[in-house]
Amino acid sequence: MKTVPNKNIKLDPGFWTKTSQIQLFYGLWVNLCHLGIGLAFALPSVQVPQLSAGDSFIKVTRSEASWIASVFTLFSPVGCLISGYVTDWLGRRVMIIMCQAPICIGWLCTGFAKSTKQVIIGRAITGIGSGMAMTPPRIFASEISLPNMRGVIGSFSTLAISIGISIQAGLGQFLTWPIICYICSIYTIANFLSFFFLPETPYFMLKTKNVAAARVALKHFRARDYNFDKEMEQIKEYKEDMDIRTYVVLSSQFYKIKSHILAFDYKSMKI
């Protein structure tokens, strides 16, 4: 029997409704990405002490140990810059999937490393991938959540990173760093496969001018009796407003550049 949306249902339902539970589920799912960042960020706290031990199969100097500890954060901004452009081009879902590849490659390079240089390269690749993974889940979570859930779901990213750091500290008490790298690479592969089932956000589908797909996407994140039509209109209005603002900003910048060029040409002619 087909469920008819109830027009009297509030657009912004309570905290523990079916719609809110669906948003919580997707918020937790997408932030598995950030849990992986926490695992990657905390690895040096386990790896460097083990590498500095006398029985380590890779001998590191104090300088090399500092590079191993810091190269992750040094290369993370590179990934952030990449994802900033690609997320709006290919979509939030695609970017969340794509960023798992360099993270996994970095884990494997680190785990199979036979020299300090290979460890540093592996950590650098993991840093780039983690930087790529930092922003898309946050955008995804904000675009699928209603105002009453946005604060809660927005906090999941920080919570997931903290949990990842804690798990890494726990693993370091019992396992060697290569084994930890293999486990984390398996976790990343599992994320990679699971994120293929993640739907795209309705806002991004509207950006691609696919209204029908945007409506289908919205249905993934709301209960069956939810008032889809009203929210779709709100999303459309928001997108149109953002398009106008973007056009105004770009136009003003264009005219500023044009006026500077004309002024420069005028001065050149006078000379």
Which of the two residues, 214 and 36, has the higher pLDDT score?
36
- pLDDT for the residue numbered 107: 97
- pLDDT for the residue numbered 241: 61
- pLDDT for the residue numbered 168: 96
Q: Residue range 3-10: average pLDDT?
A: 48
Confidence band of 247 (pLDDT split at 50, 70, 90): very low
- pLDDT for the residue numbered 185: 97
- pLDDT for the residue numbered 251: 46
Q: Residue range 198-207: average pLDDT?
A: 90
Q: Is the pLDDT of residue 118 over 60?
A: yes
- pLDDT for the residue numbered 224: 81
Give the tens place of pLDDT for each residue, 122-164: 999 999 999 999 999 999 999 998 888 888 999 999 999 999 9
Q: Residue range 178-197: average pLDDT?
A: 97
DSSP the chain: -PPPP-TTS-SS--TTSHHHHHHHHHHHHHTHHHHHHHHHHHHHHHHHHHHHSTT-SS---HHHHHHHHHHHHHHHHHHHHHHHHHHHHH-HHHHHHHTHHHHHHHHHHHHT--SHHHHHHHHHHHHHHHHHHHSHHHHHHHHHS-HHHHHHHHTHHHHHHHHHHHHHHHHTTTS-HHHHHHHHHHHHHHHHHHGGGPPPPHHHHHHTT-HHHHHHHHHHTS-TTS-HHHHHHHHHHHHHHHHHHHHHHHHHHHHHHHHHHHHHHHHHHH-
Which of the two residues, 268 and 242, has the higher pLDDT score?
242
Give the tens place of pLDDT for each residue, 45-59: 999 999 998 888 898
Q: Residue range 68-76: average pLDDT?
A: 95
The CATH classification number of 18-199 equals 1.20.1250.20
Q: Is the pLDDT of residue 9 over 60?
A: no
The domain limits of the chain are 18-199, 227-270
Q: Is the pLDDT of residue 37 over 60?
A: yes
- pLDDT for the residue numbered 13: 62
